[in-house]
């Protein structure tokens, strides 16, 4: 098959690839985007059913402190006023998230910040020195009661490992507040793109050739020598044929169903924090958009062991995997004209705004090189 020449061959039609391709096309560069899956959007992909945007690969709420990123995404979509305020379900009791005065009142019946602080101070005394893992970090932030009910079961299900063996940074993603504020994020800007993320990505890719169902690592011979630069957003171990071994990921399984009722759970995200319940979250998609349809769509999110060939969701950033990643990254650094980007290629737990910012930065870097 004849393959035309391109300035940039971009592997992955997710947020990174789409932003990068858009920027380079705007600079007059010829881009070709290859996507292994049958459809564009990467893990932010949404699909419409009954007028409801389904988040195919888990809940995605755009949030950022970066006004440039916020302005940038507004060129491709309008955003609604959604604010993420999930609930945690433990033993049938509901608790507000993130950890804030509402949670403390529900847990202990306390009403003032001083009363809450006193409880947490007493419970955190068991952690001596700097927290060395997620368990110690959680107890030192919110105390043992909240750790046992709202963190331990959830985290161990999600990651398939004991909290004492997980890095502390994972739990520091969540705010802890001594105010009655249920906003899950501290970000200045937050919302969901009206019309869905797939439309946003499609707008970014407007006028750019995209081939879906093409796994670059399998079809490599066909494309070799036909492009100036390779932008790779896939898994780095796969790119190098797993020559040093496979990086570990955590998998997910989504079970999505249509329910003949208007409102199933009254909130977009309900976390199930008990160890015995096999799913971590139930997402009711219509609430991301304040939907009023007579039916609803609900997804149960199950954490899953991951093996090579499965979809990779979360990198396992423990010391062993980080060291292995660094070996691959060192190989990549030797390849001229290879640009890595996105959650998979960088082996990082990233939020969407960080991905957009890094794609813009990578595109700007190219301008300097040219
Ligand atoms: N977490 C928890 N209980 C919850 C929600 C989150 O213990 O109800 C912990 C858990 O360790 C998780 C981390 O906080 O991995 C980060 O949660 P976040 O919601 O940011 O995860 P994501 O949405 O990225 O999967």
**Domains delineated in the chain:** 6-82+189-247+316-369 (3.40.50.720), 87-171 (no CATH)
pLDDT at 318: 84
Q: What's the burial of 120, exposed, middle or buried (CB within 10 Å: 0-12/13-18/19+)?
A: buried
**267 torsion bin: left (phi>0), alpha (psi -120 to 50), beta (else):** beta
Give the Å distance between the CA of 213 and the centre of ligand 1. 32
pLDDT at 2: 54
Spatial distance between the Cα atoms of 347 and 316, rounded to a whole number of angstroms: 8
User: Which parts of the chain have pLDDT scores under 70?
Assistant: 1-4, 369-370
Residue 314's CB is within 10 A of a number of other CB atoms, namely 17
pLDDT at 368: 72
132 in catalytic set: no
pLDDT at 55: 98
Spatial distance between the Cα atoms of 152 and 277, rounded to a whole number of angstroms: 13
Q: What's the burial of 33, exposed, middle or buried (CB within 10 Å: 0-12/13-18/19+)?
A: buried
Do residues 54 and 297 lie in contact, with contact meaning Cβ atoms separated by under 8 Å? yes
pLDDT tens digits, 187-197: 999 999 999 99
Which residue among 148, 158, 165 has the greatest number of ligand 1 atoms within 8 angstroms of its CB, and so is best to mutate? 158
pLDDT at 3: 55
Give the Å distance between the CA of 155 and the centre of ligand 1. 7
The alpha-helical segments, DSSP class H, found in 169-269 are 197-204, 216-223, 236-239
Predicted TM-score (pTM) of the model is 0.95
Q: For residue 355, which of 147, 206, 199, 204 has the smallest C-alpha distance?
A: 204
């Amino acid at each position: 098959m004849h393959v035309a020449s391109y300035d940039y061959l971009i592997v992955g039609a997710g947020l990174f690839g789409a932003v990068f391709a858009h920027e380079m096309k705007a600079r007059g560069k010829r881009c070709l985007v290859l996507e292994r899956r049958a459809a564009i959007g990467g893990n932010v992909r949404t699909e419409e059913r009954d007028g409801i945007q389904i988040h195919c690969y888990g809940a995605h709420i755009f949030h950022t402190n970066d006004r440039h990123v916020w302005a940038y995404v507004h060129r491709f979509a309008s955003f609604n006023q959604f604010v993420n305020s999930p609930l945690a379900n433990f033993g049938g009791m509901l608790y507000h998230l993130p950890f804030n005065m509402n949670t403390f009142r529900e847990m202990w019946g306390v009403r003032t910040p001083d009363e809450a602080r006193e409880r947490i101070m007493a419970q955190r005394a068991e952690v001596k020195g700097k927290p060395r893992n997620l368990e110690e970090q959680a107890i030192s932030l919110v105390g043992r009661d909240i750790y046992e009910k709202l963190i331990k079961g959830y985290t161990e299900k999600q990651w398939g490992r004991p909290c004492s063996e997980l890095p502390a940074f994972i739990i520091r993603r969540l705010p802890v507040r001594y105010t009655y504020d249920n906003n899950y994020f501290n970000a200045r800007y937050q919302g969901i793109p009206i019309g869905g993320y797939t439309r946003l990505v499609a707008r970014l890719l407007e006028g750019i050739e995209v081939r879906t169902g093409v796994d670059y690592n399998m079809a490599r011979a066909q494309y070799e020598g036909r492009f100036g630069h390779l932008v790779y957003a896939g898994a780095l171990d796969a790119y190098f044929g797993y020559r040093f071994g496979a990086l570990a990921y955590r998998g997910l399984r989504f079970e999505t169903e249509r329910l003949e009722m208007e409102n199933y759970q009254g909130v977009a995200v309900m976390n199930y924090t008990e160890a015995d319940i096999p799913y971590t979250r139930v997402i009711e998609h219509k609430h991301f958009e304040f939907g009023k349809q007579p039916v609803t769509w609900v997804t149960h999110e199950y954490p899953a062991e991951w093996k090579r060939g499965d979809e990779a969701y979360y990198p396992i950033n423990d010391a062993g995997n980080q060291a292995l990643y660094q070996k691959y990254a060192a190989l990549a650094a030797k390849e001229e004209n290879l640009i890595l980007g996105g959650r998979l290629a960088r082996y990082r737990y990233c939020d969407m705004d960080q991905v957009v910012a890094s794609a813009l930065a990578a595109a700007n870097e190219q301008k300097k090189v040219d």
